[in-house]
Structure 1
Amino acid sequence: MSRRLLWVSLPDQRARRELYWMSRMPGTSVTALARQEPVGDIEWVPTTYRRPIKRFIEAGAFAWARGLDRQDPGAYDWVASLELCSLVTGQASRWRRAGRPLQAVITWENLPDQPLYKIPPYRQAVNSCRDADLLLCMVDAARDHLLANGFDDERIRVVKPGVDTELFTPAAAPAADPQVVFISPLEPNKGIDRVLHAMTIVRRTVPEASLIVAGSGSLQPMVEAAVADPLQRVTLTGYLDAAAVADLLRSSAVFTTAPRPTWKWTEQLGLAYLEAQACGLPVVTTRCGTNDEAVRAPNLLVDDDAEALAEGLLDFLTDPARRAEVGAANRVRMVAEHDLSTQCARMGAAFADIEAQQ
């Protein structure tokens, strides 16, 4: 079988995520309408976007892809996109003819009452895909979200995302130095400010504790100011590719972030949590949204408070044996529940299940 799938990308689609997973589904050939060349075995159709508002709003980017109308619906078995309210999903719904090709919408959405749905044309995009054939949820909470918004349970499937457990592997020996690593956008909702504050508290007990920050964003000047103060022991790497992220994780002792909700977003899962755990690190993070689907005890979910975050970090930094034990258990769970090839095959099975019903 050869499943032909057209992926309509968001303008700011991140690499090695949903599109990449679709390309790894067995028996699937993928064409991507996208601004940037995608990673993976994917036929790329370069596109630009009509984007009146430039600010990035997660999957709510106010943008339409140019050139979709030049694609022949008869050349594909599926058209797929990310999130119900994205305008490219609305485009895909309108583009297909008489229900062909089949439509899949990938969703992480975990807010039962997503405020973007109240705003045209986001509301129009959501309503246009109510007859989508497959709603593929990346978290359990997304299924609850869909049901709360009146979608048909028979079209919903849940498949958790995978992580490359061959790339993200533990170090030969656990890190000896008390190095904490933060890998996330440097935006207020990801909490680098809270992490920096927590590390000042950590250093009162462990003066040699250091923080490595990988990412970029609006709060980068705050991080750069910390880097400029040698007493804070902060290093900023900027953007790293997947292999460099894996190397950084292997050199570190504990992974941390500190997400907090916004008016239309809350943490859904957090792929960085999975990558860190696959590398055998314990995780300390703030409790936010449904990140408990990724971060399970004895990893630590704490209140959104610098003191609480620092206490959690110290629990692992001052106890190497516990750190190693939790990290080893994390690795076992990632291989069992989030191996990339296995999860991509499960995604393919979800598509095949819907195909069998046609």
Structure 2
Amino acid sequence: MLWVSLPDQRARRELYWMSRMPGTRVRAMARQEPVGDIEWVPSTYRRPITRFVEAGALAWVRGLDEQPPQEFDWVTSLELCSLVTGQASRWRRAARASGARRPLQAVITWENLPDQPLYKVPPYRQALNSCRDADLLLCMVDAARDHLLANDFDDELIRVVKPGVDTEVFHPAERPVEEPVVVFASPLADNKGIDRVLDAMAIVRREIPEARLRVAGRGPLEHLVRAAAEDPSSGVELVGSLDTAGVADLMRSAAVSTTAPRPTWKWTEQLGLAYLEAQACGLPVVTTRCGTNDEAVQPPNSLVDDDVEELAEALLAFLRDPAHRAAVGAANRNHVVAHHDLATQCVAMGAAFAEIEALHAR
């Protein structure tokens, strides 16, 4: 497989999952060295805009035309409207125009907004339309399938395989944490709601003065967390950026996990791997309803409205009742092992590719 990365693609996600599919060898064109057993082609990008989050999708990788198509069964990229997906489509078409049956093309998508406003922007719309003759559209959430159908994609090309987490790295503590410690492990950005969480914890501490909040992450609202952490009366601790093992250790040091996402004009929460990681560590989750995060956060976890008081009350309900949160945490662990184990889900992703390959062979 040839993987064509976005310039800022996060490690241990889609590319890593592809490398974990049985019998799969991956060559990745990427700016940063990827994690896993992957052949890396260090790549640079032409990126005309850098000032907003979607700029990562508005970038072209250099050197794709130098990759020999006959060496690959698949070319794969992330998201329908990324320009590297459009590049992969053109590269694949050029190879197959000469009569070659390979490579096939796969596009992985999380997109859950049926009417994504970015599709109105010409470069993104062109990339989207270039996917219409892809061979496999691999959805990470059920809502992505709904999104594709709403945008007139062929259902026969769509497969849904939910993502997994490493349940050996993310495992519960030997004993449930008794102290009222809440963890936030997510980007410190407006759309992830760290400001809401800080306000909610101030309410929580009126009822449970010993309650504490541990925050992992970086982002534009980091100054809010730093200011709170500098106040000894806040109960806030900023631990900064952590690697995978560090996040797992942080989860195991807490009693409850929380975020408070809110939609923007072109984004809404899709699933949230942090929810799965917390649940794999045996924590209950409290968060706000946003997009399709109900695919990851299900009862008896707490999904509340985007309201500080409701968020605080849901946190208090778990912090006041150690037996209840232990029971919910155990149920969460069992659910993740059954439905989101990384090795199992990577096998399922490989099966989706193999099914399409079999259709083409016939």
The two structures share one fold, judged by TM-score above 0.5: yes
Instruction: Pick the aligned partner of 1:304 from 297, 303, 306.
Output: 306
Runs of 5+ consecutive residues of structure 2 not aligned to the other structure: none
Contact kept? 1:59, 1:85, Cα under 8 Å: no
Instruction: Pick the aligned partner of 2:61 from 61, 65, 79.
Output: 65
SS state of the match for residue 297, structure 1? coil
Match of 2:22 in 1: 26
What amino acid maps onto 2:34 in structure 1? Answer: P
Instruction: Pick the aligned partner of 1:6 from 2, 6, 10.
Output: 2
Q: Distance in 2 between matches of 1:230 and 1:354?
A: 58
Match of 1:116 in 2: 118
Spell out, residue by residue over 1:116-170, the C-alpha distance to the aligned partner (whole angstroms, 9 max, x if none): 1110100000011100000000000000000000000000000000010011000
Pairing of 1:322-333 with structure 2 (within 5 A): 322-333=324-335
Q: Distance in 1 between matches of 2:288 and 2:176?
A: 24
Q: Give the TM-score of the pair, scaled to structure 1.
A: 0.98
The change in CA–CA distance for 1:22 and 1:91 in structure 2 (over 3 A counts) is same
Match of 2:230 in 1: 228
TM superposition shift of 1:38: 0.3
Instruction: Pick the aligned partner of 1:45 from 41, 47, 59.
Output: 41
What amino acid maps onto 1:78 in structure 2? Answer: W
Match of 2:74 in 1: 78
TM superposition shift of 1:57: 2.2
Alignment of 1:95 onto 2:95: no
Contact kept? 1:65, 1:88, Cα under 8 Å: yes
Runs of 5+ consecutive residues of structure 1 not aligned to the other structure: none
Q: Distance in 2 between matches of 1:12 and 1:349?
A: 28
Pairing of 1:66-215 with structure 2 (within 5 A): 66-96=62-92, 97-98=95-96, 100-215=102-217
Q: Distance in 2 between matches of 1:340 and 1:61?
A: 26
TM superposition shift of 1:113: 0.3
Q: Distance in 1 between matches of 2:314 and 2:173?
A: 23
What amino acid maps onto 1:168 in structure 2? Answer: F
Spell out, residue by residue over 1:312-357, the C-alpha distance to the aligned partner (whole angstroms, 9 max, x if none): 0000000000010000000000000000000000000000000000
Spell out, residue by residue over 1:231-287, the C-alpha distance to the aligned partner (whole angstroms, 9 max, x if none): 101111111000010000001000000000001000000000000000000000000
The percent of aligned pairs where both chains have the same amino acid is 78
Instruction: Pick the aligned partner of 1:267 from 259, 266, 269.
Output: 269
What amino acid maps onto 1:212 in structure 2? Answer: R
Match of 1:250 in 2: 252
Contact kept? 2:162, 2:340, Cα under 8 Å: yes
Contact kept? 1:60, 1:85, Cα under 8 Å: no
SS state of the match for residue 285, structure 1? strand
Contact kept? 1:137, 1:160, Cα under 8 Å: yes
SS state of the match for residue 121, structure 1? helix
Spell out, residue by residue over 1:24-45, the C-alpha distance to the aligned partner (whole angstroms, 9 max, x if none): 0001000100000000000000
Contact kept? 1:178, 1:209, Cα under 8 Å: yes
Stretches (4+) displaced over 6 A: none
Q: Distance in 2 between matches of 1:60 and 1:251?
A: 34
Question: What number of residue pairs does the alignment pair up?
Answer: 354
Q: Distance in 1 between matches of 2:189 and 2:178?
A: 30
Q: Distance in 1 between matches of 2:188 and 2:30?
A: 25
Q: Distance in 2 between matches of 1:306 and 1:53?
A: 35
What amino acid maps onto 1:41 in structure 2? Answer: D
RMSD: 0.9
Q: Distance in 2 between matches of 1:17 and 1:258?
A: 22
What amino acid maps onto 2:198 in structure 1? Answer: L
Q: Distance in 2 between matches of 1:139 and 1:71?
A: 31
TM superposition shift of 1:182: 0.3
Contact kept? 1:226, 1:232, Cα under 8 Å: yes
